[in-house]
Amino acid sequence: MTKQVQQLDRVIIRFAGDSGDGMQLTGDRFTAETAEFGNDISTLPNFPAEIRAPAGTLPGVSSFQLHFADHDILTPGDAPNVLVAMNPAALKANLGDLPPGADVIVNTDEFTKRNLQKVGYAASPVEDGSMEAWRVHAVPLTSLTVKSLEGFDISKKDAERAKNMFALGLLSWLYHRPTEATVKFLRAKFAKKPDIANANIAAFQAGWNFGETTESFSVSYEVKPARLTPGLYRNISGNQALAYGLIAASVQSKLPLFLGSYPITPASDILHELSKHKRFGIRTFQAEDEIAGVGAALGAAFGGALGVTTTSGPGVALKAETVGLAVATELPLLVIDVQRAGPSTGMPTKTEQTDLLMAMFGRNGESPLPIVAPATPSDCFDATLEAARLALKYRTPVMLLSDGYLANGSEPWRLPEVLELPDLTVDFTVEPNADDGETYLPFKRDPQTLARPWAVPGTPGLEHRIGGIEKAEGTGNISYDPNNHDHMVRVRQAKIDGIANDIPALEVDDPEGDARVLVLGWGSTYGPIAAAVRRVRKSGGKIAQAHLRHLNPLPVNTGDVLRAYDRVLLPEINLGQLALLLRARFLVDVISYNRVRGLPFKAEELAGVIQDVIDSE
């Protein structure tokens, strides 16, 4: 039977099921197949904090959204074209996001009376006519899977668990995905359990064959490969890119990496990743708490290592005093904050941009430090290198603000040439630096950067003491002199402010140069804002876009850029934290747009907001 093949330019699929249904794995595999095929991709996993919430309930729903296209794309997509719902809870939790006409594949085996009741369905929505707006494909995924595995020497439970691979096979057929890598992956994943490996592969193939033969799907789809910038690509998540950025920073600075960290969602994967790469001389230290994590990193930095601590908002709060010590002792330190919804425990697996003001001001005393924020998952690599460059050059703690959306989202990454990475070599001080030629002055600053020298233990003749008590400029001896303190407060600030001359100017994207409204962003909102800007321009709207990578200090031309437009719109996933800073600093009446739902912005939503501001001109 030859089925019709329809060409599409882009597709958004959402896999949704119980947290035990393997939806993240299914999504990861579909992503890998799609990357191999050559589409541009952007992904958004969305899962509950509970490892296994009660089965079949709304809080237990885990999903994975994937946007792929034959052109370059910027976000995981607003609304799915296809929803795979493994049970009634998954259907109910996601149906509201589906536009009319979308395809819905439901696993009817799970639509039992009990499961329907669990989520408040009186009758099955698949049968009661309430889903007429969508194209529903009722597929008994579980029983088809079990049936396809008859003859395998595995338990019924193991057979049922392979249903996600059946679904993956069906979707792989529907979108003409290459399958060899998934077969290879399953063999490797279950290398020690060949029966399970074979069963999963069989289920995967059965899903594909089902698509080809069933009448439930009359059409399959093709999305041609995207024309991306030539180069070698891999798919990468933000956390993985960040971990690789740290390894690269260690290699490029020739300093051993020391990670002090305490497990916390959504940052733990950086610890996991780095602990796999000990052959780069990386020491990963799982500390007794957040404070010990940063303390050990700072101790290692004192000893000449590239000291790093990784955490999320609650951990940053605990580390504040030690970060202040790093400010006072002027030692390089990387503090990675993978932001999540707060306050307090908040929503650990959901994203937010609410730690900016904590990063800026969340320490006692005048305690400035540089802040860098990556814009996309793959940008986490470059942003980490930049944060390391600033920390090492200026002898200062640097805060890197990633977030849950970047951490778990993924996109194709054009691999950089190692030879083109920045040189981060550090010159340790090895000789006395005072005019007398004999004395070491640990706080005698470089006149250009205002950075202090860095002499590490083991260097003869440069023995010195540092600490959190105020120090005299030059000698570093304890000083309570009022004028010295005033000087030190100002010089620490001036050192950080001066970094503005060492970072790129804020670039504005305004193709025709006649926009009167600027939309500004920072961090992970880059994708949705840029996608919204495209939509607005496509419909004839004139809009300029700029995105801040350095939040402290800001690029030198920031004020000029803001003042060059009649209106500045600033969408943030907080209640206007950057807006507060910009208004205070530049007296520009920035228009804040804020949603704090634990989810990234949608491009359509932002396009509407941008258009409204343009129209109000």
Residues 328-387 within binding reach of another protein (CB under 8 A)? 329
Residues 439-458 close enough to bind another protein by CB under 8 A? 457-458
Shortest distance, position 339 Cβ to another protein, whole Å: 24
Gap between the Cα atoms of 590 and 349, Å rounded: 30
| Shortest distance, position 222 Cβ to another protein, whole Å | 18
Residue in the block written with tokens 């603000």:
401
Query: Binding to another protein by residue 461, rule CB under 8 A?
Result: yes
Q: In the set 463, 512, 514, 615, which binds another protein (CB under 8 A)?
A: 463
| Alpha carbons 226 and 249: distance in angstroms, whole number | 31
Q: Which is nearer to another protein, 236 or 607 (CB)?
A: 236
Report residue 425: phi and psi, to 5°: -55, 140
Determine how many CB atoms are found less than 10 A away from the CB of residue 25. Answer: 16
Number of shown-chain residues binding another protein (CB under 8 A): 72
Cα–Cα distance, 242 to 239 (Å, whole number): 5
Token pair recorded at residue 202: 């069989």
**Taking CB under 8 A as the criterion, which residues in 492-551 touch another protein?**
none
Q: Which of 54, 59, 99, 303 binds another protein (CB under 8 A)?
A: 303
Q: What is the smallest separation between the CB atom of 224 and another protein, expressed in angstroms?
A: 13
Single residue of 254, 278, 490, 585 touching another protein by CB under 8 A: 278
* Identity at 43, one-letter amino acid code: T
In contact, 235 and 378? CB cutoff 8 Å? no
- What residues contact residue 287 under an 8 Å CB cut-off, 6+ apart? 260, 261, 262, 293, 295, 296
Q: For residue 81, which amino acid is it?
A: N
Binding of another protein by 436 (CB under 8 A): no
Q: Tell whether omega for the bond before 80 is within 30 degrees of 0, i.e. cis.
A: no
* Contact mark string toward another protein, 166..185, x via CB under 8 A: ---------------x----
CB of 134 to another protein, least distance (A): 33
Nearest distance from residue 283's CB to another protein, in Å? 6
- Measured from the Cβ of residue 392, the count of other Cβ atoms closer than 10 Å reads 23
Q: What Rg, from alpha-carbon coordinates, does the chain have?
A: 27
Which of 321, 431, 446, 481 touches another protein (CB under 8 A)? 321
Name the one range near another protein by CB under 8 A: 52-60, 169-177, 197-205, 318-326: 318-326
Q: Which stretch binds another protein (CB under 8 A): 71-79, 140-148, 223-231, 524-532?
A: 223-231
In eight-state DSSP terms, residue 125 is T
**C-beta closer to another protein: residue 90 or 236:** 236
Part in contact with another protein (CB under 8 A); list of ranges 31-39, 102-110, 126-134, 345-353: 31-39
Among 449, 459, 479, 484, binds another protein (CB under 8 A): 459
Tell me how far apart the alpha carbons of residues 423 and 426 are, in angstroms, rounded to a whole number.
9
Respond yes or no on whether the N-terminal peptide bond of residue 453 is cis (omega within 30° of 0): no
Task: Please calculate the CA angle 516-517-520 and round it to the nearest 5 degrees.
Answer: 140
Instruction: Tell me if 281 sits within 8 A of 256, measured CB to CB.
Output: yes
Structure tokens at 89: 């809870």
How far apart are the C-alpha atoms of 204 and 186, rounded to whole Å?
Answer: 10
Helices (H), 254-400: 268-275, 290-302, 313-329, 356-361, 379-394
Decide whether 318 or 489 has the Cβ nearer to another protein: 318
Of 290 and 572, CB closest to another protein: 290
In the complex with another protein, the residue whose CB is nearer, 106 or 455, is 455
Which one of residues 76, 295, 332, 404 is an interface residue with another protein (CB under 8 A)? 295
Which residues touch 128 (CB under 8 Å, ≥6 apart)? Answer: none
* DSSP per residue, 539-550: TT---EEEEESE
Beta bridge partners of 508: 546
**Segments in 372-446 forming alpha helices (H):** 379-394, 404-408
Task: Among 36, 50, 502, 604, indicate the residue that binds another protein (CB under 8 A).
Answer: 36
What is the closest distance, in whole angstroms, from the C-beta atom of residue 244 to another protein in the complex? 7
Residue 302 contacts another protein per CB under 8 A: yes
Distance between CA atoms of residues 484 and 544, nearest Å: 46
Distance of closest approach, residue 542 Cβ to another protein, in angstroms: 32
- In this chain, which of 86, 297, 518, 591 binds another protein, going by CB under 8 A? 297
Pick between residue 73 and residue 401 the one whose CB is nearest to another protein: 73
x/- map, 550-589, another protein, by CB under 8 A: ----------------------------------------
* Residues 405, 419: Cα–Cα separation, whole Å: 30
Binding characters for another protein, 64-93, by CB under 8 A (x = yes): ------------------------------
Bridge-based pairing state of the strands 40-46 and 61-69: antiparallel
DSSP letter at 226 equals P
User: Position 307: which residue type?
Assistant: G
Residue 398's DSSP bridge partners are 334
Q: For the CB of residue 308, give the shortest distance to another protein in the complex, in Å.
A: 11
Site for another protein in 464-493 (CB under 8 A): 464-469, 477-478
Give the three-state DSSP class for 11: strand
Site track for another protein across 245-264, x = CB under 8 A: --xx--x----x-x-x----
Which of 462, 496, 533, 554 binds another protein (CB under 8 A)? It is 462
Among all chains, which residue has been given the structure tokens 């290398």? 191
Please identify which residue in 27, 60, 304, 377 interacts with another protein, judged by CB under 8 A: 304
Using CB under 8 A as the binding rule, the residues of this chain from 382 to 421 that contact another protein are 414-416, 418, 421
Q: Quick one: which of 144, 292, 399, 503 contacts another protein (CB under 8 A)?
A: 292
Choosing from 13, 170, 267, 305, the residue that interacts with another protein (CB under 8 A) is: 305
283, 393, 487, 583: which one contacts another protein (CB under 8 A)? 283
